[in-house]
Amino acid sequence: MTDPIKDLNDHYILCGAGRTGFHIAEEFYYRRMPLVVVEHHPEVIANLQASLPDSNDGIYFIEGDATEDEALIQAGIKRAKGLFTAMGDDKDNLFVILSARSLNPRVRIVTRVDDERLNRSKMEKAGADKVISTNAIGGLRAASEMIRPSVVRFLDQMVHVSDKSKTLRFTELPLIDIKTPELVELIKASQIDGEHAHKLTIKDIGRYTGLLVVAIKSSDHEDDGLRADDEQDDFLERQRRYRFTPRGDVGLEINDVLVVIGTQDKLDEVTGRG
């Protein structure tokens, strides 16, 4: 019997399927994105499998210890696009970060942290691209429930509809990932040199996809050598990297990344995953 994980490329790996990891796996399942779950406890795997109907569709499981290189290699770490460390112990997450970074220097690593004060800097130095404090997120959620309950209620309803294919998503959409035939032709036409070449616009995206474009991240704004710890003003940095609420006549380039809002089934249709 062949191992389907060996055929995966640019997939994602989740180390730890407990309280945090469960929700990560659920999100990837409904987004139809390939995810390999590495979990040491078989009962945790069984609980996750029981919670996701047809969970074999894009979600793969390895019963093993993610702190061991062998488990990460079996999960395809050398071919993976991203890795989550969501285990309950900060020391275990730190060890996985070190191992994963040594096995694949290019993989994007997102980790949870419990003791942010003591361990955030250690995880960043070990190679984590993003460190998420579950306590901080919980505190922000509690504050939001008090200060802006209507917004929170709207967002909850947006992501918890009964038909997950109709769930509204707030996500990135690289222009090169669009498979809508009309837009593929327009993208090709916009690359033709000459003053009469059609310039692909935001209006075209809305017309042929039904997605709402809220921002554009352009290729010439990416990785300008500016490190996060060198930023003087976070707001100005975001403005520099993104164009927010673009007008319909704003032109697009082939390497642009769109930030869009749309239903999951519509996103699947646009990217050819449907």
> How do residues 211-244 score in pLDDT, each as one tens digit?
999 999 986 544 444 444 444 455 555 555 788 9
Q: Per-residue b/e over 121-132, b at no fewer than 16 CB within 10 Å?
A: ebbbebbbeebb
In this structure, which topology does domain 164-271 adopt according to CATH? Alpha-Beta Plaits (3.30.70)
What φ, ψ does residue 244 adopt, rounded to 5°?
A: -90, 150
pLDDT per residue, tens digit, the chain (274 aa), is: 568 999 999 999 999 999 999 999 998 998 889 999 999 999 999 999 998 876 567 899 999 999 999 999 999 999 999 999 999 999 999 999 999 999 999 999 999 999 988 999 999 999 999 999 988 888 988 999 999 999 888 877 776 665 655 678 888 999 999 999 999 998 888 877 655 567 889 999 999 999 999 999 986 544 444 444 444 455 555 555 788 999 999 999 889 999 999 988 899 899 987 6
Q: Taking the alpha carbons of 176, 177, 181, 183 in that order, is the dihedral positive or negative?
A: negative
Amino acid at 193: D
In the numeric block, which tokens belong to residue 239? 């403005």
Domain segments of the chain: what residues? 4-140, 164-271
pTM score of the predicted model: 0.74
In the numeric block, which tokens belong to residue 9? 């490329």
Q: Does domain 4-140 have CATH number 3.40.50.170?
A: no
